[in-house]
Chain A
Amino acid sequence: MSRIRLIWRKSLNVVMLTLTGVCAFAVVSVLFLILGYFVIHGGSSLNWDFFTKLPKPVGETGGGMANAILGSLKLLLLAGLMGLPVGLMAGVYLAEFGGKTFSFVIRYTTDLLNGVPSIVIGLFAYSIAVLPVKHFSTVAGGVALGIMVIPITVRATEEFLRAVPGALREGAMALGASKWRTIATVVLPAASGGIITGMLLSLARVAGETAPLLFTAFGNRFWSPGWSQPTAALPEMIYRYAISPYEDWNRQAWAAGLVLLGLVLLANLVCRFVLHRRGFSRSV
């Protein structure tokens, strides 16, 4: 009886442990499946026109997404300009100055903001940046993405500042530097590598966001001069082209998907590799 039970326990052990391994490899294989699909479907339809031409009118084949690529870059620039300084400074506050209660409130709010669904951020950006001027614009899209950049930057900044050894601070203080000089000339430079990678990761994350752009940047089939007109963006074009009934548009959606996926994964790969070498196994 106990022998049968032992055999049962041992075989259960082998079966379950194998199963967990199978699950792990199944999940990882999804990444390669995704890459494979996009390389095969997207790669074949990616051409020079994609990067240089405007979208063709409905019904005509060909054309590209040059305006969406530029649009995405402009949106990222705005998001970076608005979100990164706020995130950085707030991160410095939390790591270096913060009192107990207020820091807790800020940290909690940051986590909360991080968890707000992107579509709700879109609603908010609509009400503060679209409604008052009564038209969709690049700026409004930038506001939406900028808000999403903040929480990730705060977290990265705070964590990397905290990782700076106390001895560095004490050394600077011992030389007579005031607190802010210590921070500005010793602590921040020491943490800058990590902070910059964190910022890049936050930009890479919002680069793929579609939902907050739908009713802020809205989309555009033409070039969008200046900052106050609706603009196309890569993820938003992928969405519109993917749900369209035209085969040629679906084809271009795959191509755009390959470009977006490639850029986002590349940014992540580089950043996480750098972080890993600096001894941060995972942080953002």
Chain B
Amino acid sequence: MDGAAPRHVGGPRSFVARLRDGDEVAHLITLVFAAVILLITSMLVYELWVSSHLSRAQFGWNFLWTQTWDPIFDHYGAAPFIYGTLVTSIVSLIIAVPLGLAAAVYLAELAPRNMSDSIAFLIDLLAAVPSVIYGLLGIFVVVPVVRTTIGPMLINTVGNVPVIGRLFKGPNYGVGFLTASIVLAIMIVPFIISVSREVLLTVPREQREAALAMGATRWEATWKVVVPWARTGIMGSIFLALARALGETMAVTMVIGNDPKIRESLFASGYTIAAVIANEFTEATGDLYLSALIELGLVLFLMTFILNGLARILIVATERGGGRPS
């Protein structure tokens, strides 16, 4: 410490002293790395925006609701893909939310803590299974089951109901919206369960005890007190799951049938945004074609961006405010 100023005796140290300690340098270096994340993300948005320029200039907003997708005549519209993405995601939520919520309620409210933890552990493992594995199972297990069992069953039962029945009409080849939704549902259930379970576990004990003391049954205490208390966080978990479902690529590509048409029947083949990019991007000839595919990527990015933002806000709101029902 040859003749350096005495270290930090009251008062702020000079910049040079701090520099010598290395604090400022370390701060700066880590800051630069943190800024890299910012850079990557903004570059991502910028690249998607710039590379989709041709398509945006050519089709404008019409891109979003045009139904033709015709690489031969260079005419592109995103409607069939947006439709497919939304339908598969929503149907998968219809399957996954009740299942996941019920399982989360069981794990948080009923199961002994040890068992609940072990099951949650297995469910985290389930969430780690790569999507191409789900796709493989989709092709060789879910598709045949939908063709021979689930499909005919639905046609014979719900198919006869006046309005909803229209969703279950037409030929059933096994591949299509329904199969994709089932595979997606299996993929997102673990996320709904593990986030909802966490949220449910944060509900104060007193809430349950008060309800039970009033003579409520266990189920009533759970359903009318605990779940409403946690509902904001549960909504957050659902949004997160939805964002994942929207962006899921491989598993859906393998079972949806890959046909850019808007069809009413859930048994029909369709297409999603992620799937069309995966299938056609390397084969796309012509700048406009590529540009249209990238614009689809931009649309997908924005959809997940908005959902993720909403989900975060909801989850943070629950954690802060205890999710008190308003």
Q: Does A56 contact B (CB under 8 A)?
A: no
Q: Does B312 contact A (CB under 8 A)?
A: yes
Q: Which of A19, A151, A211 contacts B249 (CB 8 A)?
A: A211
Q: Does A276 contact B (CB under 8 A)?
A: yes
Which residues on A sit within 8 Å (CB–CB) of B249? 117-119, 210-211
Which residues on A sit within 8 Å (CB–CB) of B312? 108, 111
CB distance from A206 to the nearest CB of B (A): 10
Determine the residue in chain B with the shortest Cβ distance to A207.
Answer: B130
The CA of A155 and the CA of B286, in the complex, are separated in Å by 41
Q: Which of B37, B107, B190 contacts A86 (CB 8 A)?
A: B37
Establish whether residues B23 and A106, one from each chain, have CB atoms under 8 Å apart when the complex forms. no
Which residues on B sit within 8 Å (CB–CB) of A27? 99-100, 103, 123, 126, 189-190, 193
Per-position 1/0 for A193-207, Cβ under 8 A of B: 000000000001101
Per-position 1/0 for A17-34, Cβ under 8 A of B: 101110110111011001
The CA of A110 and the CA of B29, in the complex, are separated in Å by 18
A residues 259-279 touching B (CB-CB < 8 Å) = 260-261, 264-265, 268-269, 272, 276
Which residues on A sit within 8 Å (CB–CB) of B219? 12-13, 16-17
Q: Which of B125, B189, B193, B297 contacts A123 (CB 8 A)?
A: B297
Per-position 1/0 for A21-52, Cβ under 8 A of B: 10110111011001001100100000000000
Q: Does B154 contact A (CB under 8 A)?
A: no
Determine the residue in chain A with the shortest Cβ distance to B116.
Answer: A24
Comparing A61-69, A163-171, A221-229, A236-244, the segment that makes contact with chain B is A236-244
Establish whether residues A235 and B30, one from each chain, have CB atoms under 8 Å apart when the complex forms. no
Establish whether residues B44 and A276, one from each chain, have CB atoms under 8 Å apart when the complex forms. no
Q: Does A250 contact B (CB under 8 A)?
A: yes
Please report the total number of B residues contacting A with Cβ < 8 Å: 89
Which residues on B sit within 8 Å (CB–CB) of A123? 47-48, 51, 277, 281, 294, 297
Q: Does A218 contact B (CB under 8 A)?
A: yes
Comparing B59-67, B69-77, B134-142, B159-167, the segment that makes contact with chain A is B134-142
Which residues on B sit within 8 Å (CB–CB) of A110? 37
Q: Which of A89, A119, A150 contacts B274 (CB 8 A)?
A: A119
Given known A257-B133, A265-B125, A265-B128, contact A117–B274 (CB-CB < 8 A): yes
Which residues on B sit within 8 Å (CB–CB) of A127? 47, 51, 294
The CA of A97 and the CA of B130, in the complex, are separated in Å by 35
Establish whether residues B304 and A281, one from each chain, have CB atoms under 8 Å apart when the complex forms. no
Establish whether residues B30 and A242, one from each chain, have CB atoms under 8 Å apart when the complex forms. no
The CA of A97 and the CA of B249, in the complex, are separated in Å by 37
Q: List 7 A-B contacts (CB under 8 A).
A: A27-B189, A88-B33, A97-B31, A117-B249, A214-B282, A218-B282, A272-B121
Q: Which 7 A-B pairs have the closest CB atoms?
A: A208-B130, A117-B247, A89-B33, A180-B26, A93-B30, A178-B21, A20-B106
